[in-house]
Structure 1
Amino acid sequence: MAIAASYLGNVTLAGQSIVINTCSLTYQIPGGLIGAVSNRVGNLLGQSRARRANISANVGLMLGGLAGALGLAFYVGTASWWGKLYSNDPNVVSTVALIMPICALFQFSDAMSGMSGGILRSLGRQAVGAWINLPSYYVVGLPLGLYLTYGAPGMGVIGLWIGITVAATLTSFGQSTICLAANYAKEVDRCMAQVNKSRDIAANSTEDNDGTVC
């Protein structure tokens, strides 16, 4: 996005940089929740506690939605003056005010996308998340954003944010659907099978090295 925004002028790039920095700041809240929920669900699966893992995953999705909603409210509420904390240039401030409401929608989708992605990682289904993210961002979001920005609509930097927001929404919907539909009893069985397989590989490796099993 930074490269694409750089062709829109210095003022737009400055406003874009402020919003991106703000996104990094506000993502610390959902980011912390994502790590906690991912570890919690993974540990419960390892303990063969399918029901608790299911509950924790569902609570995690709700917390992701709550964190996203708080982020949305923050961006909408501070849009008119947030840029003044970074710059005295009224053009930069107005650019930040223009981007923030669209970024607010992205915050909600991004929080849900991150949370559902974290749950998929705890289920050992990173590949599923990758296959959802790849087309969402690089087949839909990026081309759409570039078209809205530089194509016939000529929406400027707003087009870039619409593109990435659509991508995050598609990702969060796809990943959340899989998380909600998952059979956690079967996920426990799959987890145990992977653990046993890893143990067998480690045991065989030890035998190959010194002929004994530790």
Structure 2
Amino acid sequence: MESSRPLLNDENEKREKEYVEVIKEFGEESRRLWKLAGPAIFTSICQYSLGALTQTFAGLAGELELAAVSVENSVIAGLAFGVMLGMGSALETLCGQAYGAGRLRMLGVYMQRSWIILLTSASLLTPIYVWAPPILEVVGETTEISEAAGKFALWMLPQLFAYALNFPIQKFLQAQSKVMVMAWISAVVLVEHAFLSWLLILKLGWGLPGAALVLNSSWWLIVIAQLIYIFKTKSDGAWSGFSWLAFQDLFGFVKLSLSSALTLCLEFWYLMILVVITGRLPNPLVPVDAISICMNINGWDAMIALGFNAAISVRVSNELGAGNAKAAKFSVVVVCVTSMIVGAICMSIVIATRDYFPYLFTTSEAVAAETTRLAILLAVTVLLNSLQPVLSGVAIGAGWQSLVAYINIGCYYIVGLPTGILLGFKFGFGAEGIWSGMIGGISLQTLILIVITSITNWNREAEEAESRVRKWGGSAGEE
């Protein structure tokens, strides 16, 4: 018996050392994660707040102004935002893995290729802005809301082309962990935006034209400031000037960009459709305003998840590019745990403030009451949004865009959307039913992504990353 005790003690000590080592590694990876995620979250919140603040000031100006800005933000700009961000997300895979493999000069070429593709895409999306009123009426919005939102959409065309330049710039800087630059620029622009919105929309009474002027100006300020930083610093060698290499391999780059766009667009459009379908309910002005307020809050929360999405995409792509499969897998575990904790906190805040936050966006008692009624569904969505975008970030970092696109189609548009329409219209649950069906789709997608991530062979993913860097970066070394 006594001879077995030393063995038992040795085994316990070994387990304790392993436990301490895991905790230490978790803390170290958390530090790396927050170094990326903290500024990325702050940047995302600041940039999202540009549109959200415009919506808030428009709501204080009147119900129709709120509906116009909400529908344009959610439907027209939401569609464009999804396309631009999605196509720009191809750079998360390519820039991140090239940076991890030490092919620094290729990052600037990738960004230029992405600019070409996104500016072309913005030109192709322009007719949607021009003919927004009939498009909105076709999908069920009232003539009054469609006309007001369509007029605002036409004024917001400059924002579309700012998106086309901004998102590749962001992915270029994120891949190099230069996130503090974007955070500072976004913070300064947000302060300017808040003041000018108050001045032009409320104080001077310019209404929707004032809102459009301020919002367009703020987005272009962000783009110009980031470009000045890149051109001046050369981004530590990642920017070596404009190159004809940007026009090479465009077809393959377009394919990856389209896969990335489809992955994110299906997610953005899913919640956009929630606002559109709600517009087909009887007396839609109040439920549309209430849903829009909830989507506004959900959007702010989603920016937190988007920050984690960017951080884990950078971590996974960098580690896979460097051939560190084990480190990539551990990063996924750390970000999922961290994001779920943050999500639970945000859900609690929504529930605790459900009687108060609607009045930040509206002076209408009817709209505020409807928003409060929808707050529980908002809280559930907030919790799901803490994990689902992070898993999508893992997929982008590993280059699984096409697979996730198929999953999104099945979960969102074959399961979630029909269920929501059935509950909302057939069974008479209105906006709550529409939203509940969509929550079901998000839950199913999250579950599938958890299973896929848990069974992934990360050593094979590292080998594929090495192959991808050779394929896309071969000419860079010869430049």
TM-score between the two structures when normalised by the length of structure 2: 0.41
Query: Is structure 2 residue 363 aligned with structure 1 residue 88?
Result: yes
> Structure 2 CA distance, aligned partners of 1:81 and 1:106?
19
State the Cα distance separating 1:26 from its structure 2 match: 1.9
- Tell me which residue corresponds to 2:428: 154
Query: Is structure 2 residue 306 aligned with structure 1 residue 31?
Result: yes
Matched ranges for 1:1-214 at <5 A: 1-8=274-281, 9-151=284-426, 153-199=427-473, 202=475
> Structure 2 CA distance, aligned partners of 1:130 and 1:66?
27
Please list the CA deviations of residues 124-171 of structure 1 after superposition, one character each: whole Å capped at 9, or x if unmatched. Answer: 1111111111111100111111111111x2101001110111111111
Please list the CA deviations of residues 28-67 of structure 1 after superposition, one character each: whole Å capped at 9, or x if unmatched. Answer: 2111111011101110111111111110011111122123
> Structure 2 CA distance, aligned partners of 1:182 and 1:162?
31
In our comparison, the structure showing a higher alpha carbon Rg is 2
Please list the CA deviations of residues 11-31 of structure 1 after superposition, one character each: whole Å capped at 9, or x if unmatched. Answer: 111111111111112222111
Q: How many residues in Structure 1 have an aligned counterpart in Structure 2?
A: 204
> Structure 2 CA distance, aligned partners of 1:30 and 1:81?
24
> Structure 2 CA distance, aligned partners of 1:61 and 1:181?
15
- Letter of the structure 1 residue corresponding to residue 293 of structure 2: I
> Structure 2 CA distance, aligned partners of 1:104 and 1:145?
18
| Cα-Cα RMSD | 1.7
TM-score between the two structures when normalised by the length of structure 1: 0.89
State the Cα distance separating 1:76 from its structure 2 match: 1.2
- Letter of the structure 1 residue corresponding to residue 337 of structure 2: M
> Structure 2 CA distance, aligned partners of 1:14 and 1:29?
23
> Structure 1 CA distance, aligned partners of 2:321 and 2:470?
11
State the Cα distance separating 1:116 from its structure 2 match: 0.4
> Structure 2 CA distance, aligned partners of 1:37 and 1:66?
16
Tell me if structure 2 keeps the 8 A contact 1:58–1:180: no
State the Cα distance separating 1:199 from its structure 2 match: 4.4
Stretch deviating more after TM superposition (38-47 or 104-113): 104-113
Percent of counterpart pairs with the same letter? 25
State the Cα distance separating 1:185 from its structure 2 match: 1.1
Tell me if structure 2 keeps the 8 A contact 1:106–1:164: no
User: Any stretches of 5+ residues in structure 2 without a counterpart?
Assistant: 1-273
> Structure 1 CA distance, aligned partners of 2:306 and 2:421?
28
- Runs of 4+ in structure 1 deviating by more than 6 angstroms, as ranges, are none
What SS is found at the alignment partner of 2:374? helix
What SS is found at the alignment partner of 1:27? helix
Please list the CA deviations of residues 67-91 of structure 1 after superposition, one character each: whole Å capped at 9, or x if unmatched. Answer: 3212211221111221122223222
Tell me if structure 1 keeps the 8 A contact 2:305–2:385: no
Tell me if structure 2 keeps the 8 A contact 1:68–1:108: yes
> Structure 2 CA distance, aligned partners of 1:56 and 1:111?
16
Stretch deviating more after TM superposition (63-72 or 95-104): 63-72
Tell me if structure 2 keeps the 8 A contact 1:41–1:56: yes
- Letter of the structure 1 residue corresponding to residue 276 of structure 2: I
